[in-house]
A and B are shown apart, each in its own frame.
Chain A
């Protein structure tokens, strides 16, 4: 219990009295309690960051709890003890003075009694011995004996001059018989000097007692503050530092010493706070993981999209020039919009020695799988048109069916591929001004004089596993072309638009080919490119918030009214 741990270079001390056994500086306590080992932070930042707590704890030169308690309580206790002790000593001293007075009175009375007889002053033998006996008392200072006239008969000792606090004087009249006149007077002075020493001792004792009390108080206070305040606070602080490091440990409430109630309450509140922070932190961690996962997904998605973008360029390059049939006297407009960049919709336009070929196919699936199938169809079609040189729509479809099934190995048993395509094919013969159509699951729409008609062709599509020997069969439909007639080959993605019909009905349903035909009829006199744009806008309007369901392809063609002339 010393002040030897005073930090070097400390600022001028506050309350620096009573050093010997006095209270420690706040920093002493911080050191003792383990509060002072942290590196110095600036302590000024308001945000919670590692070191902030420690910085705040030592940023201001604040006295420790024990120090404050000591300074506030100790002077009161010390003064009270001192005053009490001095009061007791004072009362004691007064009592002794009184006893001394009574003693002097008694001695004077006894001596006077022994002397008091008539004519006592004539015989020294009567009074000398009793008076001299008074000197046996160690407190004796002086005595004088006077006769009735007041003349001094005998005097012993030195009568001190003036007043002295420690002298007690007593007088006794010499009375021979009750009621008689006094025969003289004895004056006795004794010293209370012994008592002064006694009182000094008492005062010293009082002081010593206060010092001992102080010592005991300091030791007890410090020990108790350490056990019941500093130790729990230290645990609390350790837990706070752990929390600063995001180590979600609660403070141990059952330490070596039970914390005081207040600290216990604070600790419990702290633990609840830690629990809350831990939960919040976990949520934050989860969010972070989610964000990371999202970033990875985004990267993966970007990769896929880039790859599909590349695939779209390939698929687009397989599609024909939109102007391929310009020489056959056909006005052409095309809408080709896969659902996912690439798709299973395919169209082909070709001038076959003056015949205009328009083909639209809808392969199963969309996206990349659909696109694969379109390449098979494109290859097969190329062979059919240029190796086998077929020009008859039904024959072309039949050949396509065979080749696709052969390519996908769908003729044998246990075929893996259950794929195929719907296909519609028109051959425009400008010389005869007629169109020959064959369809496999894909209809031809013709709008003549504002009236739409639909030529369905075969119900079945091409491809798909068939029982061996089954052959696709369809017949050509030949249509004479009336002036102004417009023809449309479209995949079901055009008419399969989910939305709410404009009649106000609450039911969601598909637009259907009649809905599409109505839109086309409404725009029948416009150039085909405008018609197609208007159709696309109408489809968007019909869908409203609904997503598209499928790839969309529409090829619109209209023989120009003027006589066809080959342009080479």
Chain B
């Protein structure tokens, strides 16, 4: 499975899906004009990776400072794939990064966390540098 690496743009986040090591990363802002077109290939790749049925742990780091509702929907789909894998016994950890004081992102993380029963969903509070 190939690594997917996309540089951040002003409307799309940095993407670093290193399937070999089980580390997935999203950082930046996400409000692409067509979120389905942006996230579609990522979901497809993740689906293919999970279908291989490995047992290596997966860690997904998400550090978004803004995402629009279409991106939220796409994130939900992504997390559902991971939760399904966790339900089948795969160790899955989501690390949700948010800035101290950013209740919007913090609440969004809490909303996502509520849907996880098998995977770990960690809230990572980042202090200003």
A residues contacting B by CB (< 8 A) are 362, 364-365, 418, 422, 459, 461, 464, 492, 495-496, 498, 501, 503, 505-514, 549-550
Contact = CB atoms under 8 A, between A and B. Distances in A.
A422 B73 contact: no
- Top-9 shortest CB links A-B: A509-B102, A505-B128, A512-B104, A510-B104, A512-B103, A509-B99, A507-B128, A507-B99, A514-B103
Which DSSP category, helix, strand, loop or mixed, fits chain B's interface? mixed
A492 B105 CA distance: 12
A549 B69 contact: no
Interface residues of B, number: 20
Contacts of A550: 31, 68
B69 A509 contact: no
Contacts, number: 54
B36 A513 contact: no
Given A498-B29, A509-B99, A510-B104, A492 B69 contact: yes
A365 B99 contact: no
Contact of A495 (B31, B104, B129): B104
A99 B111 CA distance: 140
Contacts of A418: 36, 73
A508 B129 CA distance: 11
A375 B113 CA distance: 34
Given A418-B36, A505-B128, A507-B129, A459 B111 contact: yes
A501 B101 CA distance: 9
Tell me whether chain A's interface is mostly helix, strand or loop, or mixed: loop
Contacts of B116: none
Given A498-B65, A510-B104, 4 more contacts: A364-B70, A492-B104, A505-B101, A509-B105
B99 A549 contact: no
A492 B71 CA distance: 14
A362 B69 CA distance: 9
B68 A549 contact: yes
A360 to B, nearest CB: 14
A104 B128 CA distance: 133
B70 A365 contact: yes
Contact of B65 (A364, A459, A505, A509): A509
Interface in B34-76: 36, 65-66, 68-70, 73
A505 to B, nearest CB: 4
